[in-house]
């Protein structure tokens, strides 16, 4: 149980275009999902907390108009990188909490999406 998927696993796009990344909880409902960014050989950097049915909460320094988050259902959150630039190239990872287990401190991570902006 507690499987999280991400799509696509990798994407290459041209500078100035927008890219949407999907995060799905496959076997549980996730009222809260998290989006992280990870640079090579570094730890995870929390970008935002995605809440089903409400606006996302962004971490300090993360541009909400550039990284659009939509959590339209209990199993799907999307991250759209708008007007992407080469500096947005990174490994983006989502995670979700399964509140049905009672262990809401545990997060289950997706496999990540590698974004390359040319």
Positions touching another protein (CB under 8 A) are 4, 6, 34, 41-44, 46, 49, 91, 93, 95, 103, 105-112, 114
User: Do 107 and 49 touch, CB atoms closer than 8 A?
Assistant: no
Q: How far is the CB of 93 from another protein (least distance, A)?
A: 5
SS3 100: helix
Sign of the four-CA dihedral 41, 43, 45, 51: positive
Closer residue to another protein in complex, CB, 38/82: 38
Closer residue to another protein in complex, CB, 4/117: 4
Closer residue to another protein in complex, CB, 5/82: 5
Question: How many residues in the chain?
Answer: 118
Q: How far is the CB of 50 from another protein (least distance, A)?
A: 13
Closer residue to another protein in complex, CB, 49/82: 49
Report d(CA 56, CA 39) in Å as an integer.
22
Q: How far is the CB of 2 from another protein (least distance, A)?
A: 8
Phi, psi of 93 (to 5 degrees): -125, 135
């Amino acid at each position: 149980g507690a499987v999280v998927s991400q799509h696509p696993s990798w994407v290459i796009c041209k500078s100035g275009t927008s890219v949407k990344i999907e995060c799905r909880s496959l076997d549980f409902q996730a009222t809260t999902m998290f989006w992280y960014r990870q640079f090579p050989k570094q730890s995870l950097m929390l970008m935002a907390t995605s809440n089903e049915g409400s606006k996302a909460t962004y971490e300090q320094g993360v541009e909400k108009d550039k990284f659009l988050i939509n959590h339209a259902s209990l199993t799907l959150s999307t991250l759209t990188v708008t007007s992407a630039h080469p500096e947005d190239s990174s490994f983006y990872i989502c995670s979700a909490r399964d509140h049905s287990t009672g262990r809401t401190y545990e997060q289950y991570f997706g496999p990540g999406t590698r974004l390359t902006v040319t």
